[in-house]
Amino acid sequence: MNDTVVQHSLRIIENLKSHTSEGADNFNIWLWIAIAEFVIIVLLILFKMINVKPSKMQLEKEEAINKEVDFSNIINSSFNSTELYKVLIGKCHPDKFATDPYLNAIADKLFQEITQNKTNVKRLEEIKKEAKDKLKINF
Amino acid sequence: MFSNSWNNILDWFRDRSERSKLVRSFNESARNSYINGIAPTLLKCKISKGERSYKHQFSNWLNTGFRIQAFTGRTLTKEEIIHIGEVILNDDFLTRKLVVLGWDTLEIHGDKGTYGCRWQLKDYIPLPNYKLE
């Protein structure tokens, strides 16, 4: 009796084993198909990303972000540009060189640059140096 | 559709990083200028709520204000506050960068908080009418 029960159990186990091994093969195939589909989708997305042309808005954004800003000049200009501007417009006014047309032309050009760069200390310092060399002004 | 969403996510993270970098650079320069005696007042910038009516096409969804506050040293006068604003707005590179990184409001405040000034950034940089893609 025990032997038949044991044999019966063994037969059931063998049947189960054969069923699960068939299922495992099927499972493996579907798993590989799913993996292949996932890889294809990822590749399609990457391909589309690479081929997307940036819009004008994105190009302008990229250009603006990549430019370096001189913060030390901005902070310096915030507190020190007014004084330097006043000194320069006083000394470099074209009317002070009315007798000499050559110097008058240079002073006129420099004066325009001074008014355009009223709030930029770095550029005002450069103009001051230029005025010292070309107009022989003693600051 | 997926590539657009993916690019938007990447842009959002990149913009956040660039904004933090800009704020850090400003604060570092302001600190060094104050320590070296170039600036009589310590300025500090931070991201603020901003003004919703100043929105433009690059504006962030939230926190679109670029606030500069004077912290220590002597008190700033109203004229000085306006002058600081003019200096920033006359710098095309900085203003353009503020606009494309999502800011639409420039705010400058004195240390006592009694008054401050505010500017709409898009008034200082011409923005073409881009079609949203």
- Report the residue from B3, B32, B96 with minimal CB separation from A49: B3
Note whether B6 contacts A57, CB cutoff 8 Å.
no
Note whether B133 contacts A55, CB cutoff 8 Å.
yes
**What is the per-residue pLDDT across A84-96, written as a single tens digit (0 to 9) for each?**
999 999 999 999 8
pLDDT of residue B110: 80
Q: How far is B120 from chain A (nearest CA, A)?
A: 18
- Interval A17-40 mean pLDDT: 76
**How long is chain A?**
139
Q: Half-sphere exposure of B96 toward its Cβ, with a 13 Å CA cutoff?
A: 17
Find chain B residues with C-beta within 8 A of A75's C-beta: 29-30, 33, 38-39, 43
Distance CA(A86)–CA(A84), nearest Å, equals: 5
| Complex ipTM over 0.95 | no
pLDDT of residue A127: 93
- Interval A89-104 mean pLDDT: 90
B69, B43 Cβ separation under 8 angstroms: yes
A-to-B residue pairs, Cβ atoms closer than 8 angstroms: 87
- Report the residue from A52, A64, A72 with minimal CB separation from B29: A72
Q: What angle do CA A77, B46, B23 make, to 5 degrees?
A: 65
Which tokens go with B114? 């009694």
pLDDT of residue B132: 46
- Which ranges in B36-124 belong to alpha helices (H)? 78-90, 92-100
Between A28 and B3, the more confident residue is A28
Note whether B58 contacts A77, CB cutoff 8 Å.
no
Between B12 and A72, the more confident residue is A72
pTM more than 0.95: no
What is the 3 state secondary structure string of chain A?
Answer: CHHHHHHHHHHHHHHHHHHHHHHHHHHHHHHHHHHHHHHHHHHHHHHHHHHCCCCHHHHHHHHHHHCCCCHHHHHHHHHHHHHHHHHHHHHCCHHHHCCCHHHHHHHHHHHHHHHHCCCCHHHHHHHHHHHHHHCCCCC
Chain B contact present for A125, CB below 8 A: no
**What is the per-residue pLDDT across B25-79, written as a single tens digit (0 to 9) for each?**
999 999 999 999 998 888 999 999 988 888 888 888 888 999 998 887 667 788 8
Q: Beta strand pairing status for B65-73 and B105-109?
A: parallel
Kindly compute the dihedral angle of the four CA atoms of residues A50, A53, A56, A60, in this order, to the nearest 10 degrees.
Answer: 30
**Per-residue DSSP letters for B29-51?**
HHHHHHHTTS-SEEEEEEEE---
pLDDT band at B9, cuts 50/70/90? confident
Of the candidate ranges A24-33, A74-83, B12-21, B49-58, the one whose mean pLDDT is the lowest: A24-33
Number of H helices, E strands in chain B: 3, 4
Report which of B15, B8, B41, B38 is spatially closest to residue B133, judged by C-alpha positions. B8
- Report the residue from B3, B87, B97 with minimal CB separation from A81: B87
Interface probe with B: pick from A71, A115, A117, most Cβ of B within 10 Å: A71
- Interval B7-12 mean pLDDT: 80
Which tokens go with B86? 């003019």
Residue keyed to tokens 């009418």 = B129
pLDDT of residue B113: 59
- Mean pLDDT for all residues in chain B: 85
Chain B contact present for A136, CB below 8 A: no
**What is the per-residue pLDDT across A49-92, written as a single tens digit (0 to 9) for each?**
666 667 777 788 888 888 889 999 999 999 999 999 999 999 99
pLDDT of residue B3: 57
Distance CA(B110)–CA(B117), nearest Å, equals: 9
Q: Half-sphere exposure of A126 toward its Cβ, with a 13 Å CA cutoff?
A: 7
